[in-house]
Amino acid sequence: MRLLIDPRQTAIDLVRKNGIGAEVGVHIGDFSATILNLAKPKKLYLIDPWKYFPEPAYKDSMYGGERVTQKDMDGRYEKVVKRFNREITSGTVEVYREMSFEAAHRFKDGELDFVYVDGDHSYEGVSQDLKAFFPKVKTGGLIIGDDYSLGGWWKDGIVRAFNEFVVETQSFVEFKLAGQFAVRKLS
């Protein structure tokens, strides 16, 4: 018998229901919809610059190279706002179109129950996101992330940043499964 596990759903199942969370790296909002459906947060902040990155390091990413333009990124942003219009109007969702490390300053320390990190996959980007959002998460809250793997255009960026983060912080690894990771903040 083969047991099928959805690692992203497993990560969100760890999140306290009716909490306050943030998703860093929204893209077109598919996982945002999953978070809303499964975690049923009181408030979900969607954070993404929806910005084209022309640097060679990003040429194979979803936000760089020759496959996309800034116009495409603007279109993604507009679709997300339209998609979640009802939730935005009701106050359940807020959208911040800015770099994640800048958006982190909007939150008080200990304000968030969880953060899902899936933005800039470079070592520098992931390190910056983890360090910026760790203080914003409550003790006992979660930092969850995507694409914990070697390869991809980010090479070892996510793995290296995550491993360093765990060593440097007061946190407990809840799980690493099929590219997902979840870390619980201890203090």
Assign 3-class secondary structure to the chain.
Answer: CCCCCCHHHHHHHCCCCCCEEEEECCCCCHHHHHHHHHHCCCEEEEECCCCCECCHHHCCCCCECCCCCHHHHHHHHHHHHHHCHHHHHHCCEEEECCCHHHHHHHCCCCCEEEEEECCCCCHHHHHHHHHHHHHHEEEEEEEEECCCCCCCCCCCHHHHHHHHHHHHCCEEEEEEECCEEEEEECC
Q: Region 118-137: what's the mean pLDDT?
A: 96
pLDDT of residue 176 exceeding 90: no
Domains and CATH numbers, the chain: 7-185 (3.40.50.150)
Mean pLDDT of 71-100: 98
Looking at residue 2, what is its pLDDT? 62
Given pLDDT bands bounded at 50, 70 and 90, which one contains residue 151?
confident
